[in-house]
Chains A and B, each alone.
Chain A
Amino acid sequence: MEIYNNHKRLFGAAIILFIVLTMFAAILPALNEEKNSSPLPGSKAPTADETAGKGIFIREGCIACHTQQVRNVDMDKMWGSRPGIAADYARIKRIDIWRNTAMLMGSERTGPDLTNIGVRQSSQDWHLLHLYNPRSVVEQSIMPAYSWLFEVKDYAFPGDVVLHVPDEYRKGITGQIVATKEALQLVAYLKSLKQVSLPDGKPTPIFLYDKNSKEAGTKKTSAASKVSEPQFDGAALYATNCQSCHQGNGEGLAGAFPPLKGSKVVLDDNPEVQITIIMKGYNGRVSEGYGVMTPVGTNNNLKPEEVAAIINHERSNWGNNSKQVTVDEVKKIITGFKTDNSKTAKK
């Protein structure tokens, strides 16, 4: 054929075909997305510190292991309350003349997704310790330690954020380990990562491949052994929501997160205080050097059944042996908060 003997025609045809397809599959859809999406009304522009923190996130290549996208599949429910939509990303623009837009959606989930990390883990103390050495708070973690975001001082100045690093991770450092400005900015960025709720009336996209709808058939055979409450595994819920601070052995971290093993609150037969702390947070032991507990239950949208499972796990492990709670008790106490809130709101 003539085309294969004429290089101008052959290569001309190939490049035209390629460019036309490129327009169709990449450039036009990209331009269209850019034009047709605007930020959600509930979203805020990042502060200067958060922007600087994002710069550090980019610099350290965190994207190599952390995604920032909640897909519309059932298993991604643990990373956000709804699937991500184009508007979630509409605020993200080119950084500067040298660097491209930082969408940071990622392609590898060696570590957890961070779309909603600001809600899931809002404790600055935890984030700082975790950055200094991840294994000091999550024993099995394989994340790098970012010790260059911290400095060692003989004496901390007022206003310095001092870390209570467990001895085995101090590596012979005797001075005070202080977070640099960069570390604080990075944490500010992480804490700012929160899913924005959709404005009223906008339909929420659904999660696909819901396991529960399919499982009905298989469950008959596999779940025969645990008939009572197959869905709420206290150990797993504890691992997901509590373990990063209070640790798998319930002993917490000295000077940072208090132990649950032998804790007065956990051993108390009346669960009210325990539930209140989980749902509303706690700062009663800051003077002892412990960090502020964030309202984990509320942040993570835990159901009363889940809270009950967690509490019962805490009450029956590590030598703890106190009265188990029922879902109804938990429900009652949580409804109690809500009426309190509405009362204060009315006032």
Chain B
Amino acid sequence: MKKVAVLVILALRGSQLFAQTPAASDNAWTNPGVMITISLILIILVIAVYLVALKVNNLVKTVRERRIRREAKYLAKSLQDLSTGEVREELIKRKQALDFKLSNTELSGENAPDDKKGLLHNVAEVNTPRFIATKKKAVKRPDIDPKLTKLILWYLGSATFWLVLGTSVGEYLGIKFVAPDVDHVSWLSFGRLRPVHTNMVFWGWSSLAMIGLGYYVVSTVSNTVVASLKWGWYALYLINASVILGSISLMAGINNAGGEYREYIWPIMLLFAIGLVITLINYLQTIARRKTKEIYISNWYIVAAVMFTIVIALVGYLPFWQNGLGETIAQGYYMHQGVGMWFMLFNLGLIYYFLPQQLNTPIYSYSLGILAFWTQILFYTLIGTHHFIFSAIPWWLQTVAIIGSMGMLIPVFAGTTNFLMTFRGNFHRIGSSYTLPFYLVGIIFYFTGSSQGTAEAFRSANLYWHFTDFTVAHSHLTMYGIIAFMLWASIYTLVPRLTGKEPRQSLVGAHFWMALIGLLFYTIPLMIGGTLKGISWQEGKPFIDSVVLMAPYWLWRAIGGSLMWASHLIFAYNLYYMIVSKEETDLQKAVFEELNKLPANTSKQ
């Protein structure tokens, strides 16, 4: 309820502000790019409103039931006062008729149930009051090599560590917009910390989580074991070392001269790249030993992501084409391929495995997957320079990038259709699962966030949004709304299978809602403010006006950011709980353990 109210206020607030600039509204709000984005935001809002409406509906039902009971009481009382002998007799008769109950044994007979064929598993009994609807338990998987489990858990554990640390830095940066004098320490100044935040969540959180989950998916869909667990560990050490050294050096003021996401100097990034090469070889060797004939679609995406990222890192860091504007072209290519070919491609691979797995249904269409795969390579590779529209780089290259951005609608539509059609017929399961909401949000943001990217690339829309906080909102919609949500979906799916321990549902719910609401509070104000900022620039107002007008939106961003950050603490606790919580002793298991001990003793004698 609160959320709806706040969103409405936000919307009204925005429209008030728009009302103050009637002249500009002619241009901005009829712009195709702006209109597309607004409709994309509306999609998210509609879904959020739908989810809230479901909750409200339940509440209304409860209230109505209470009222009916109260009326019944009153009716009974008045009837009692009325009763004369005849009425009484009638009533008693009727009561007997109504009180007739089946004995519950009409069909089953009196015999005790006996499961002779072993059909029943996991009979769930509820002995405690339930404050939260019980969600479906994770399915137990056949045994997984404990060594692989350990490796994956270490990947996920260090990823989560970087998530918490990296978003703490991000949260602090968000506060600095509101309180710029919060500290005067060189190591903590905005310019130095910003790349610490971005690189830490990129290479520390998302990358490590992806590679860790990849080890499970690549080997599982190949129906074989991982080629070398030892190499997996080496890659883990190298990437962690890269993030540690990189963060320290950035804070010390040593950076690679400012290209976004390649702020780590090359010797530090080299550690990451070696980690990637090792991972690639390991994945490829695992696939080469597969026991299935075909290569499952997940593995195309995952291996392609690792291969491409090695190329991307080489293009970004080799010095041969980096003088003058060459650097800018390489930068546009590097940063956008980094997000689209590394994070997006890899995550799609994970989703192509985990989503059908979790829904217990095959992926809707293999052909759509193939279409999305090849068109993503074809179009995405071209779009890097759309970060430098109207700059000094060649006009034709900018145009190619814009066309590529429009082409991206094909893989995005294909992918979204594929996932949603896989969901079809299973939407009712969302309510009874604590992982599926993460998938759904990830898929919705995949659609809206990616399409927003296309809209932003139009020259006419770029005019308003380039250089403003709109870009910041966009990158959080995608890197957080898509990537982080998909990773959480996969982690909550996989870890209980690895460890046999489930997180507390209430805390998973808290994580989900705080992250989602936080993200909306973070991004929507920034998009509104960013647009107003662009309009202010276009009107030629003094620059400082555009700083002043952002203040309320930056405050909202800090509030949303705090919610997101708090949700990560909960997520970290959930992961901890799934890994090291003490398992409640299961009677059945304990008996088997005891039994196992006995014959061992007897056989020795």
**Known A11-B303, A25-B384, A94-B319; 19 more pairs at CB < 8 Å:** A25-B381, A29-B393, A29-B397, A33-B329, A60-B253, A75-B463, A78-B540, A101-B326, A102-B257, A133-B181, A143-B180, A144-B180, A144-B189, A148-B185, A209-B463, A222-B22, A239-B542, A243-B542, A243-B544
Decide if B308 is an interface residue (CB 8 Å cutoff): yes
Residue interface bits B232-271, CB-to-A below 8 A is 1, else 0: 0000000000000000001001111111101001110000
Assembly CA distance A25 to B334 (angstroms) = 11
Given A25-B382, A26-B384; A31-B257 close (CB under 8 Å)? no
Beta-carbon contact of B323 and A34 below 8 Å: yes
Contacts of B385 in A (CB 8 A): 25
Assembly CA distance A325 to B244 (angstroms) = 63
Of B191-199, B432-440, B596-604, the segment with at least 4 beta carbons within 8 Å of chain A is B191-199
Decide if B190 is an interface residue (CB 8 Å cutoff): yes
Decide if A40 is an interface residue (CB 8 Å cutoff): no
> Which of A10, A37, A62, A89 meets B191, CB within 8 Å?
A62
CB distance from A95 to the nearest CB of B (A): 6
> Which of A34, A89, A99 meets B321, CB within 8 Å?
A34
Decide if A21 is an interface residue (CB 8 Å cutoff): yes
Nearest A residue to B535, CB-CB: A75
Decide if B543 is an interface residue (CB 8 Å cutoff): yes
Decide if B81 is an interface residue (CB 8 Å cutoff): no
Beta-carbon contact of B467 and A109 below 8 Å: yes
Within 8 A of B (CB), among A33-61: 33-34, 37, 58-61
Given A7-B287, A108-B471; A99-B255 close (CB under 8 Å)? yes
Interface residues on A, range: 35 or more
Residue interface bits B308-342, CB-to-A below 8 A is 1, else 0: 10010001010111111111111111000000010
Beta-carbon contact of B397 and A25 below 8 Å: yes
5 closest Cβ pairs, A-B complex: A61-B191, A71-B390, A109-B467, A59-B253, A102-B257
Beta-carbon contact of B322 and A94 below 8 Å: yes
Contacts of B320 in A (CB 8 A): 31
Beta-carbon contact of B328 and A103 below 8 Å: yes
Given A99-B257, A148-B186, A240-B543; A33-B326 close (CB under 8 Å)? yes
Nearest B residue to A78, CB-CB: B540
Of B292-300, B349-357, B423-431, B583-591, the segment with at least 4 beta carbons within 8 Å of chain A is B292-300
Beta-carbon contact of A64 and B304 below 8 Å: no
Beta-carbon contact of A99 and B295 below 8 Å: no
Decide if A192 is an interface residue (CB 8 Å cutoff): no
Nearest B residue to A20, CB-CB: B381
Within 8 A of A (CB), among B159-205: 176-177, 180-181, 184-186, 189-192, 194-195
Contacts of B190 in A (CB 8 A): 61, 64-65, 144
Residue interface bits B364-384, CB-to-A below 8 A is 1, else 0: 000000100110011001101
Nearest B residue to A61, CB-CB: B191
Assembly CA distance A26 to B318 (angstroms) = 13
Beta-carbon contact of B181 and A135 below 8 Å: yes
Beta-carbon contact of A17 and B324 below 8 Å: no
Beta-carbon contact of B327 and A138 below 8 Å: no
Contacts of A61 in B (CB 8 A): 189-192, 194-195, 250, 255, 258
> Which of B23, B311, B325 meets A33, CB within 8 Å?
B325
Beta-carbon contact of A7 and B391 below 8 Å: no
> Which of A95, A108, A142, A208 meets B180, CB within 8 Å?
A142
Given A4-B295, A109-B468; A89-B324 close (CB under 8 Å)? yes
Given A5-B294, A94-B322, A240-B543; A27-B191 close (CB under 8 Å)? no
Assembly CA distance A202 to B274 (angstroms) = 48
Given A84-B392, A140-B544, A141-B544; A100-B259 close (CB under 8 Å)? yes
